[in-house]
Structure 1
């Protein structure tokens, strides 16, 4: 068992393999230049459905229209790469209207948006996401690191550990409340969709 960046990691496999298996990078959880909101939820679906949901974020355009969803997600394709035990799915959405949540936190009218999901087998997804003024550099934008850890609980149930980290409005409790509520809505919508499959 290892504690790293406010997360506890347990290895239930061969103990010799544990020494060579890196703990996923979640340093945004205790980086003073970032803030975060977290959720923990027991989902009424198997862990495979959660993985599918996080690898294909196209559903944002249809399921999450009041928060993170917009037409740009559906309208722009993805690039997929596989390296070692990491599957990366990158989507770049240039010159789009920001989703309702991004419009609220940035006050921007047009943005370049991106999200790259890195699935670190067997159970962690890190979504590097954000918005920036059109033509701007990602590192200069409003950035989000969305941490998703999934643990099977029993047949038809999985624990979902979730953190939404950001590089702006650090220490702003009102922003924490906005993001806690909006991300709670996203998780409620995902739970409804996944539990009805």
Structure 2
């Protein structure tokens, strides 16, 4: 069901730091994990299961870099090995599973699969994090829906006309065909709209960048899926006739919608969303305004996906129909299925 030999976002580093001496429990790819900081502040992740009596270690605390079970005080090291328990001999306990984990771009990332295959070089690269030329703001939603439904949603933006009619939706999205291409493990869906009026969200962005919000614009949406479930979407508007996506910065409002989708179970996922922008990166108030607006937009998506999942779960035998607008999601799922198949052990026949 899930690609496991890969990197997923667990949480924002600030979320873990805010817990103080409490660990963070999170289910990822159907595996219950607990995250904490070890003796030198290094990140660690182990099964959320105390080997003594099965209590969730996430209910305990972190003391001097060791994870202390909240039931009987058993102390766990970063490698999943029991190191101490008051009045007991426990060093002979078998180790519980530990996970490869690291910090990058302000997030905690985990490799749920074979730790021996974990490779930091396989982390995705993004130019807009830790870059003073860009501003970033985002958040987290816990969505009660199959993570692939979110992939479908983000790789087909025609729904914006209906779900987001008061913010980023407009009829021209329906009226303008998109193109879908596959480059290796990446799916790219593009839609370019010429000579239109900007919808409310982009009128606000134009004003923030010193552009006339009522001016005619060229608008673009370029969705890029990469496994296991990351989607970056180049979005923006430029004054009509100035080159669209390739327009000079003073003629456009341009951002990248950041979507890190982490499976929890077959019918739930963690959705880390955000927007990175190149205009007015120093304006913290604008960053917060965009974050709040984007959060409202994604909340509309979450409501739709959760109700969609309820219908699908109620009628599992019903086959969903496909249209040409679904090409981005279909191609993304094909890549997911191919990588899933590659992770399955090969059967040995006599």
Please classify the TM superposition score into its range, dividing by the shorter chain length. over 0.9
**CA deviation after TM superposition for structure 1 residue 12, in Å:** 2.2
Mapped contact 1:37–1:164 kept (Cα < 8 A): yes
Aligned counterparts, 1:34-113, within 5 A: 34-106=134-206, 107-108=212-213, 109-113=215-219
Deviates more, 1:173-182 or 1:141-150: 173-182
- Pairs aligned (count): 197
User: 2:109 aligned with 1:9, yes or no?
Assistant: yes
User: 2:255 aligned with 1:149, yes or no?
Assistant: no
Aligned to 1:136: 242
Bigger radius of gyration: 2
Deviates more, 1:167-176 or 1:108-117: 167-176
Q: Take 1:111 and 1:161, find their aligned partners in 2: how far apart are those partners?
A: 30
2:223 to 117, 123, 127: 117
Mapped contact 1:82–1:88 kept (Cα < 8 A): yes
For structure 2, the residue ranges without an aligned partner over 5 or more in a row are: 1-100, 207-211, 309-350
Q: Take 2:173 and 2:115, find their aligned partners in 1: how far apart are those partners?
A: 41
**TM-score (norm: length of structure 2):** 0.53
**CA deviation after TM superposition for structure 1 residue 21, in Å:** 6.5
Q: Take 1:69 and 1:153, find their aligned partners in 2: how far apart are those partners?
A: 30
Mapped contact 1:152–1:158 kept (Cα < 8 A): yes
Mapped contact 1:24–1:124 kept (Cα < 8 A): no
Mapped contact 1:9–1:23 kept (Cα < 8 A): no
Aligned to 1:127: 233
Aligned residues: CA RMSD? 1.8
Q: Take 2:131 and 2:117, find their aligned partners in 1: how far apart are those partners?
A: 29
Deviates more, 1:10-19 or 1:87-96: 10-19
**CA deviation after TM superposition for structure 1 residue 54, in Å:** 0.5
Q: Take 2:231 and 2:121, find their aligned partners in 1: how far apart are those partners?
A: 16
Q: Take 2:225 and 2:201, find their aligned partners in 1: how far apart are those partners?
A: 24
Instruction: Indicate the SS of the match to 1:28.
Output: coil
Aligned to 1:159: 270
Instruction: Indicate the SS of the match to 1:169.
Output: coil
